Amino acid sequence: MNYKSILITGAAGFIGSNLAKSILEKHKTSKVIGIDNMNDYYDVNLKEYRLKTLNSFDNFIFKKSDISDKNALFSIFEEYKPDLVVNLAAQAGVRYSIENPDAYIQSNIIGFYNILEACRHSYDDDNTGVQHLVYASSSSVYGNNKRIPYSTDDKVDSPVSLYAATKKTDELLAYSYSKLYGIPSTGLRFFTVYGPAGRPDMAYFGFTNKLVNNQKIKIFNFGNCKRDFTYIDDIVLGISRVIQKIPSENSDGVQYKIYNIGNSKPENLLDFVTILQEELIKAGVLPKDYDFESHKELLPMQPGDVETTYADISDLERDFDFKPSTSLRDGLKMFAKWYKSFYN
């Protein structure tokens, strides 16, 4: 990634900001152009906090823009001519897709289509153009897949949420553009990413906010769900390795690949909340005598949720000699320490 112009969308987001920071620290000859619309889906102060860190780097350029604005996006591509594109901008969240479907179509489908079109036209007039497009998919595409662990070879034609359907659509669009226009592209199916300065709508963050405010936390499927929690530093390392390796042509002559990135170790939700509580107490976020049991409410499964997520990462290990290694306790410990520092 040295001496490259790298465009990261969703740069003020959780994964985007951590990826940008890692690249800026390790590849000082590179230039990172970050795009984010800074919407208020969750606390904008958190996005500004992440962005403040990035703005301290001389080789970082920020553009407040929306990828669903095609003209604005094309102007950014024309001005900075990115060598590498990492699309992490998206409307996230399974349950919110039931409440506000328009946001998902606008960002995840129209926005991603615009990214593909911008990559396509980067080759106009015999320009070198985009050398590799890496984009975020999601473990949600597996729906209620009965095969465990989830493999990228599995059929994923039965999404159980609109969010999942938009991510599957992105994978199909990327394949067609790779086939038609020779855009090397790699999709990454993320599995429950967590860590410091994460998304407040994620369970570990939302649970913490509620416990701090003496509210009950809702644990669905009566706590019988399992999630493949993946720490942010592992995700960033995985993406960084993927960016630097353009996929080989498949049997159809298309430079296109999809990988799972997960810890490959599902954790029961009740075990997860117990570890979270313990680490919040150790960090001083909650008092030592906190009555945790009285703050739990067990509820049935919610629409759009699945019982288990479990990543088969054999392809990732084979192609990149990489496997996430941060334990859930270590990851939640780092989150709890950050939470104490940030909100104190």
Q: What's the rounded mean pLDDT across residues 108-123?
A: 98
Q: Is pLDDT at 308 greater than 90 in this prediction?
A: no
The confidence score (pLDDT) of residue 94 equals 85
- pLDDT above 70 covers what percent of the chain? 100
Q: Name the active-site residue from 96, 163, 231, 339.
A: 163
* β-bridge pairing 226-227 and 5-9: unpaired
pLDDT at 304 over 80: no
Confidence at residue 344, expressed as pLDDT on a 0 to 100 scale: 79
Beta bridge partners of 163: none
* The predicted structure's pLDDT at residue 229: 96
200 strand-pairing partners: none
Residues linked to residue 189 through DSSP beta bridges, in sequence order: 137, 260
pLDDT bin (cut points 50, 70, 90) of residue 98 is: confident
Q: Which helix (H) or strand (E) holds 256?
A: strand 256-261
Q: How far apart are CA 171 and CA 42, in angstroms?
A: 26
Is the pLDDT assigned to residue 21 strictly greater than 90? yes
Q: How confident is the model at residue 266 (pLDDT cuts 50, 70, 90)?
A: very high
**Which tokens sit at 59?**
């080789």
pLDDT at 302 over 90: no
Whether cis (ω within 30° of 0) applies to the bond prior to 101 is no
Q: What's the pTM?
A: 0.95
> What is the average per-residue pLDDT within 35-41?
96
Give residue 222's pLDDT band: very low, low, confident or very high (50, 70, 90): confident
d(CA 109, CA 41): 18
Query: In angstroms, how far apart are the furthest CA atoms of the chain?
Result: 68
Residue 113 pLDDT: 98
Beta bridge partners of 231: 194
* pLDDT tens readout for residues 85-94: 999 999 998 8
**Could you confirm whether 163 is annotated as catalytic?**
yes
Whether residue 95 is predicted with pLDDT greater than 90 in this model: the reply is no
What DSSP element (H or E) covers 24?
Answer: helix 14-26
pLDDT at 104 over 80: yes
Give me the pLDDT at residue 283, please. 98
Buried b (16+ CB within 10 A) or exposed e, 14-29: bbbbbbbbebbeebee
